[in-house]
Chains A and B, each alone.
Chain A
Amino acid sequence: MELVTPSIGLMFWTSLVFVILLFLLAKFAWKPILKSVKEREVKIESALEASEKARTEMALLKSQNEDLRKEALVERDALLKEAREMKDKMVAEAKVTAKEEGERIIESAREAIKNEKMAAVTEIKNQVATLSIEIAEKIVKEKLSTDEKQKTLVDGLVEEINLN
């Protein structure tokens, strides 16, 4: 029976100790502990969230990079194509120009040759004329050196005229 008989003294001390304990532990233990634990949980959660976010951002960046790379490739191809076309065009143009220029040069060379030739011919003509005159002079001088010869010549000339 004593086992189930409450004792005032123990009840008093238990109440007293419990209230003091509740107060002291609440102030110096539970509050800082729960606060820190909560803070830590928030911290971990936000860290996890941040890492998740970073991961998705990373994936996004990666895909963006891929897009950029693809774009760059396309652009490169386009540029290469353009360059090739331009090169072809330039080569073609250059060919045309070169041909024209060559023709022009050939033409002018031909002209020059022609002119030179003309000049040379003229000079040769002049030379021939001078030489002919000189020869003619010598021959005339020879032919007219004697009276007989003069006479023969005049006769020849007269005869010729007659024949005509």
Chain B
Amino acid sequence: MQRKTTIKLAIALVMSTLFTANFYAQSEPTEHPEQTEEKYDPVATALGHALDSHEIHFLGEGESAVHLPLPVILYTDNGLEFFMSSEFHHGEHAHIERDGKKVDGYVYKNYFIDHHMTKISPVIDSHGHYTIDEEVSITDFSITKNVFALFITAFLLLFVFMKVGKFYKKNGAVAPKGLTSWMEPLILFVRDDIAEPNLGDKKTKFMPYLLTVFFFIWFGNLLGLIPFISNPNLTGNISFTIVLALFTLIVQMLFSKKGFWKHIFSPPGVPVALYPILIPIEFAGIFIKPAALLIRLFANITAGHIIVVSLVGIIFVKGSLAWSGLSVPMTLFISCLELLVAFLQAYIFTMLSALFIGTAIDDGHH
């Protein structure tokens, strides 16, 4: 008991120092608070919320915004570069001219880094005027908002399910209690309603994968619904969904049986004349299926984020607080709906993964 409390205290201390040390609120008021310049752009706001970023935005706009800076890790020709995103001249995005187009970006040391962290250009700073010397491609491995959310999700998953695992290790085959009784029905749901109908007796081998996918997506979806940590749109990020769909494809390919390939390259009951049409379609289907999977999750979760921000945005577009009478109930409704969607999408992704794996491991008794 004593040890547990000490660990908790240590974590709290570390967290609080991290937050207080790194918070930087540039509270100096803008010199010219011109209303025209600060015009609310609903599209940019909605998209900006759905996108990834290099800091966690808590509140405020522009100069007075409160952010938690995150580590930036860049892989350049000179190797890895580590620095905190607070080292960017925040709020003062630099601009350069590239191929005749204005490009937003950051300045770090003697580099101009474009907004999407794809290119780096050593520049000469002469009082805010940057000139490009040469362009170098970089790869961004930063701990962005989504990566941070990813870590939190993983930590929560480990915390919750290792606790549940420990409960069973300690107590053996008993009735669930506490946290376990919350999670066990979901685990059984995945086993009996997702794995069992699609995989049958072979489900045991795939249970860890399906359970991890299900809870990873679900927890990620739920984390994205928490407003005060700037709704990290992790599970609605296409990179995230691509990776998960790829894992499903890999598992599917690794365990695929002869029957699956036979079905693709010599579909039974089809005239040979149709083979030239059918085989390419069937073959493309292997990749279309996970593509549909990744697009579905991406679109559903991102749409939810955009809808919520857009509905709140009504107030700002109309410029009147009275509109909150419409905006708030609708946002509340959509948020509740999103709770359902969070579960539903996790279910659908897992369910289709199980289905795809199920067709691949089928021995071909037709």
Residues of A that sit less than 8 Å from B by CB? 2-15, 17-18, 20-22, 24-26, 28-37, 39-40, 43
Contacts and interface: CB of A to CB of B under 8 A. Distances in A.
Interface stretch (B21-29, B84-92, B183-191): B183-191
Interface of B: 47, 50-52, 73, 116-117, 139-144, 146-147, 150-151, 154, 157-158, 161-162, 164-166, 168-169, 171-175, 184, 187-188, 191, 204, 207-209, 211-212, 216, 237-240, 242-244, 247, 298, 302
B173 A40 contact: yes
A25 B173 contact: no
Nearest to A6: B239
A12 B162 CA distance: 25
A36 B247 CA distance: 28
Contacts of B244: 14, 18
B237 A10 contact: yes
A9 B140 contact: yes
Contact of A6 (B139, B209, B238): B238
B168 A36 contact: yes
B208 A6 contact: no
A159 B168 CA distance: 156
Given A21-B216, A36-B174, 7 more contacts: A8-B140, A10-B144, A14-B243, A26-B212, A31-B165, A36-B168, A36-B172
18 contacts: A3-B47, A3-B302, A7-B140, A7-B239, A8-B140, A11-B243, A14-B150, A18-B243, A18-B244, A21-B154, A25-B211, A29-B162, A29-B165, A30-B208, A36-B173, A37-B168, A37-B191, A39-B173
A84 to B, nearest CB: 64
B150 A3 contact: no
B168 A35 contact: yes
B120 to A, nearest CB: 14
Contacts of B302: 3
B12 to A, nearest CB: 24
Given A28-B162, A29-B162, A31-B208, A17 B144 contact: no
A66 to B, nearest CB: 39
Contacts of A8: 139-141, 239
A14 B235 CA distance: 10
Contacts of B208: 22, 25-26, 30-31
A27 to B, nearest CB: 9
Contacts of B116: 2, 5
Contacts of A9: 73, 117, 139-142, 144, 147
Contact of A17 (B52, B151, B237): B151
Contacts of A7: 52, 140, 237, 239
B154 A17 contact: yes
Contact of A30 (B52, B141, B211, B237): B211
Nearest to A24: B158
B162 A14 contact: no
Contacts of A4: 238, 298
A2 B150 contact: no
A26 B141 CA distance: 27
Specify which of B50, B146, B173, B298 lies most central, judged by the most chain A CB atoms within 10 Å of its CB.
B173
B52 A10 contact: yes
A40 B175 CA distance: 8
Contacts of A6: 238-239, 242
A13 B173 contact: no
A33 B208 CA distance: 11
A14 B244 CA distance: 8
Nearest to B50: A3
Nearest to A34: B207
B239 A14 contact: yes
B240 A14 contact: yes
Contacts of B166: 28, 32
Specify which of A10, A17, A39 lies most central, judged by the most chain B CB atoms within 10 Å of its CB.
A10
Contact of A33 (B158, B187, B243): B187
Nearest to A8: B139
A28 to B, nearest CB: 5
Contacts of B154: 17, 20-21
A10 B145 CA distance: 10
B168 A32 contact: yes
A105 B115 CA distance: 146
What 7 pairs across the A-B complex have the smallest Cβ distances?
A29-B161, A26-B208, A39-B173, A36-B168, A40-B173, A29-B165, A10-B239
